[in-house]
Amino acid sequence: MLRHLISAADLTRDDAVLILDTAEEMARVADRPIKKLPTLRGRTIVNLFFEDSTRTRISFEAAEKRLSADVINFSAKGSSVSKGESLKDTAQTLEAMGVDAVVIRHGASGAPYRLANSGWIDAAVVNAGDGTHQHPTQALLDAFTMRRRLIGRDAGLGQDLSGKRITIVGDVLHSRVARSNVDLLHTLGAEVTLVAPPTLVPVGVDSWPCAISYDLDSALPKCDAVMMLRVQRERMNAAFFPTEREYSRRYGLDGDRMAKLPEHAIVMHPGPMVRGMEITAEVADSDRCTAVEQVANGVSIRMAVLYLLLGGNEPALTHARTNEEK
Amino acid sequence: MDKHDTPARPQASDARPVLEGPDIARVLTRIAHEIVERAKGADDVVLLGIPTRGVFLAQRLAAKLEQITDRKIPVGSLDITMYRDDLRMHPPRALARTEIPGDGIDGRLVVLVDDVLFSGRTIRAALDALNDIGRPRAVQLAVLVDRGHRELPIRADYVGKNLPTSLRETVKVQLAEEDGRDTVLLGVKAGQ
């Protein structure tokens, strides 16, 4: 039984489709005058954010509040962590307060896994992004956005993304979004192509269930969705490309490149966007760009995940991590 | 010759039909007339079915009401999963669709439609769910079968068939839209 959501690779196809279908119903709550469900009344969820985040933290908080959970926000700045407290002691403090779930973002890859499997706490752990490892709810909301746009809101129910061709472009090396998306999209039957400069492709990528290309222009005409990644300067301690201008020329998405996409194809961005770097303002503001929609969908997806993990006496998701998918 | 009249599998023979297709059609026609009578013309009636089978019953009732009144009757669905009082006792259930007709339910007469009325807990959850959606003028309840054993002070306004049962028995409604045929089966709980 899957008690925690640590990695997108832990989800089976049926789990992922169940989350997407549940999110589709959750999305309808946003259209109501009273955007609230009583489902997690009396459950306490801590948002444990060791790394800066606006989008993800607010999105989780909105999802928790719409499900009537009690929400405690914790950010490392201004907490005992800045006085040198370890993750273990922080976790045990939270456990003593009786929390039911911990949503954790941490700069170190594997921190959520450690929290979930160390025996420090009983609470369910939801990974909200760890280092360069995983960000499963982002992958789920991306898949949700693709299913809605490429198949349809109602037509998509119960469906996966079989046969859809997705191109992920940019700083794959530092991107937990790319890793999570490759895992989840593969599980959902999509064909993923990563496009990046050779220096920004991680070692061992040939074992991932996806194709690699270094040429954006040849990949564009044959994809249903293109996902642009931000170049994560804050994680870079070396020069990975000569100049920003050169990166932008070769791997940035501008109007001319967007015109090469098939007519139905969408442009995605997990945010925050750096206009003029990986994406031009013209593309970011076009109606093919789903960046804002992805944020709205994030709340629905997080409601679905929290409901399925915490809504009953045991989680509704099965555990199916296999070695080949790791 | 083969024996064509061998008894059906034990499970199926345990369950005895108490309402067949034509009975269900007649019962729904009667309920439709009762709604029109009690609501004095059903001008402001909104039918909300409780998934899964309540939704099909609501759609059938709406069709009958439209025949009687010659007016379009708004019909929708109300999923009560998130409002259940036994959520913590089972794994989370898949959600069904809540579809409120375009004009909403404020100031309207909402008739909730379900297949079986038993403990009354589903209807309590439905009343809570309605509360988050709007403020109807009044709420009424129509059910195909009332099998008794209420655990809450709730009663139906329109009942297809009162079916006195024991707690050892099961009542299963099958509808063509979902199960391929119309019938209400009275059976005995497995293992009893």
Return the domain boundaries, chain A.
8-134+294-325, 136-290
Quick: pLDDT tens for A81-127: 767 788 899 888 888 989 999 999 999 999 999 999 998 999 999 99
Q: Judge whether residue B8 has pLDDT over 50.
A: no
Q: Looking at beta carbons, which residues of chain A come within 8 Å of B98?
A: 25, 28
Q: pLDDT tens digits, residue range A220-238?
A: 999 999 999 999 988 887 7
CATH topology of domain B22-90+98-166: Rossmann fold (3.40.50)
CATH architecture of A136-290: 3-Layer(aba) Sandwich (3.40)
Q: pLDDT for B28-59, tens place per residue?
A: 999 999 999 998 887 899 999 999 999 999 99
User: How far apart are the C-alpha atoms of B78 and B100, rounded to whole Å?
Assistant: 7
Total-model pTM: 0.90
Q: Which residues of A touch B (CB under 8 A)?
A: 18, 21-22, 25-26, 28, 32-34, 36-39, 307-308, 311-316
Q: Do B134 and A33 touch (CB under 8 A)?
A: yes
Integer Cα distance of B155 and B141 in angstroms: 8
Task: For A35-65, write each residue's pLDDT tens digit.
Answer: 999 999 999 999 999 988 888 999 999 999 9
CB-based contact B93:B119 (threshold 8 Å): no
Which CATH architecture group holds A8-134+294-325? 3-Layer(aba) Sandwich (3.40)
Mean pLDDT of B77-102: 93
- Residues from chain A that touch B52, judged by Cβ atoms under 8 A, are none
Dump the DSSP string for B64-78: HHHHHH-S---EEE-
CB of B95 within 8 Å of any CB in chain A?
yes
pLDDT for A85 equals 81
* C-beta of residue A283 within 8 angstroms of C-beta of residue A267: yes
* A22/B95 touch (CB, cutoff 8 Å), yes or no: yes
Do A18 and B94 count as a contact with CB atoms less than 8 A apart? yes
pLDDT band at B5 (very low <50, low <70, confident <90, very high): very low
CB A164 within 8 A of CB A35: no
pLDDT at B192 over 80: no
Q: How many helices (H) and strands (E) does chain B have?
A: 5, 8
CB spacing of B94 vs A22 below 8 angstroms? yes
CA distance A170 to A270: 12
Would the CATH topology of A8-134+294-325 be identical to that of A136-290? Answer: yes
Q: Which has the minimum average pLDDT: A253-262, A314-323, B54-63, B89-98?
A: A314-323
Give the pLDDT score at B110.
97
- Check residue A241 and report its DSSP letter: S
The pLDDT, as a whole number, for residue A207 is: 94
Element holding B33 (H helix, E strand)? helix B21-38
User: Per-domain residue ranges for chain B?
Assistant: 22-90+98-166
Environment class of A209 (CB within 10 Å of its CB; exposed 0-12, middle 13-18, buried 19+): middle
Residue B179 has pLDDT above 90, yes or no: yes
Q: How far is A6 from chain B (nearest CA, A)?
A: 19
